[in-house]
Chain A
Amino acid sequence: MDVIKVRNLKKVFNKEIKAVDGISFEVKQGEIFGFLGPNGAGKTTTLNILCALIKPTEGEARVCKYDVVTQPEEVRKCIGIVFQDMSLDDRLTAKENLELHARLYGVPKSERKKRIDEVLKLTELKDRENSMVKTFSGGMRRRLELARGLIHHPRVLFLDEPTLGLDPQTRKHIWDYVLKLKKEKEITIMLTTHYMEEADELCDRIAIVDHGKIIALDTSKNLKDSLGGDTIILDLDDKDTEKAKKIFRGSKVFDGQLFLSVKNAGKEIKKILEIAKKNKIDVIEANIRKPTLNDVFLILTGRKIREETVSLKEKLKTRMMGH
């Protein structure tokens, strides 16, 4: 059954900025579905539409069978959200934040205590329940937000860049919680990320988005297999890159490196190096590896998904777009 169904969704800001440009996809019950793409690709905007926070310019979106435009309250009842930016009240304790949420979502009084205990245990925050959120680390805040998003037993959980700005160890920790959720609860999860390992690790299916469009949608394995079996990376001298790009069709150049997708690199590398030599292209170094999601993005767009920590300026920009 499709829990999320999106048809030709468009969102235009200020009559000219196409944040989302005709997106269609379905998310199945119990699946972890990922939106992978660089900053400004339209991931958060799509999520905000699905959460009925902003209205689409065109197209249709249904969450738990409810239309996000005409039935926003029904949609909000069946979803849980963890926003990209912190949305806790740091002057309240962890438990108070959870209590407010339970009340806002109309969780009956008799159930509240039980559910708060349940999510605090799940995210291992039980021993800190009476501490002020302002004393929490970034990872703990994320876990608390995850806990909060689950109190009202949503059928779909939206995670917007769930590990943005967290250190690798904490990130791994959050991933474990998400996978635990999938196993223990019958919950559908849709997340956005610009970390390819995150999409790789968590998602059953991944939509690669760029400039407001889905440019590929499949399982991680199929996406990588679609490039052929292997990726060959040739380090070239700067003067040769343009020439090489013409000779090797379908290749992409990035930072002086030539990316080639082939079926069997072991067999074909020899031929490739011979062609290079014949055309007087200096190969400084040749590497072979299994393709990554980054290679998929690179081959499709000619750019890399930026992996480094987001700069403050970009963070401000995405924040502004989010509002």
Chain B
Amino acid sequence: MNHELEAAYTVWLREMIRYVRAKERIISSIAQPIFWLLIFGSSMRTFIPVAGLNYQTFIAPGIVVMAIMFTSMFSGISVIWDRELGFMKEMLVAPVSRLSIVAGKCFGGATTAVIQGILVLLVSLALGARVELVTFLILIPIMMLIALGIVGIGVAIASVLESMEGFGVIMNFVIMPMFFLSGALFPINNLPNWLRIITYVDPVTYDVELTRYMMTGFSSINVIFSFVAMLGFTALTLLIGAYLFNKRS
């Protein structure tokens, strides 16, 4: 058991080393959320979605989730890179269970995503959002759980896909719709019925609502419900991801 933990830690460690080395990746995946906050947030400043919240503050939690989503998805999908690089073989042939490898991979990806999330959170603080230190500390494990849920999807997709070529399709048909339909950019209670139903189906909605409740005190959905939904979704995608990963290799 101890050795299995060590193996998972090793895979996690590799993700960390690679993350720290890939400066351009850190910068590019943080630049987009910042543009959203700065340009979209500032230009729509006069739009008051909820009483007492300006637009920039309203979307800040959604943008934090966005940063987490993108990084998590990329990390999950990087299983394909590992396969093409050949390093996956090196891991698979080691005397450890597949579960330890996929666990290390998921936690590694989620950790990098949380770091990205924190960076965006700090930017939004600099732009005027207010978060208590305690809230900030509670947000970290919540971001971790959100990230794990998305990494799970990434690993599942990577286990089904043959090559990195499908990545653009995934971005356009999975990530983008999940983000736009989540209520990251608009309050969901004012939506027409048909659209509201779709947002309720989108798991990212609960991630955003939960994060927004933590950061602003406002949420369109009961916060306990959001938390349970997020937890359930994360558990589900991790299970599916681990199952497909194991089946593929």
Show the binding face of A for B, using Cβ within 8 Å: 51-53, 73-74, 76-77, 81, 83, 85-92, 96, 100-101, 103-106, 148
Contact = CB atoms under 8 A, between A and B. Distances in A.
B86 A83 contact: yes
Nearest to B89: A87
A104 B86 contact: no
Given A53-B93, A91-B21, A103 B86 contact: no
A91 B20 CA distance: 11
Given A87-B87, A101-B90, A104-B7, A92 B95 contact: no
Main secondary structure of the interface of A (DSSP, over half): loop
Contacts of B9: 103
A104 B94 CA distance: 6
Contacts of B21: 91
B91 A104 contact: yes
Contacts of A87: 85-87, 89-90
Given A76-B95, A104-B94, A92 B3 contact: no
Interface string B1-39: 001001101100110011001100000000000000000
Contacts of B93: 51-53, 76, 81
Contact of B95 (A73, A86, A89, A96): A73
B10 A100 contact: yes
A100 B95 contact: no
Contacts of B22: 91
Nearest to B97: A73
Contact of B3 (A76, A86, A106): A106
Given A87-B90, A91-B18, A91-B21, A104 B96 contact: yes
Given A89-B14, A100-B10, A103-B6, A53 B92 contact: yes
A86 B86 contact: yes
B95 A105 contact: yes
Contacts of A89: 14, 18, 85, 87
A100 B92 CA distance: 13
A58 to B, nearest CB: 22
6 contacts: A76-B93, A76-B95, A85-B86, A91-B17, A96-B17, A104-B94
Interface string B77-108: 00000000111011111111100000000000
Contacts of A91: 17-18, 21-22
B88 to A, nearest CB: 8
Contacts of A90: 85
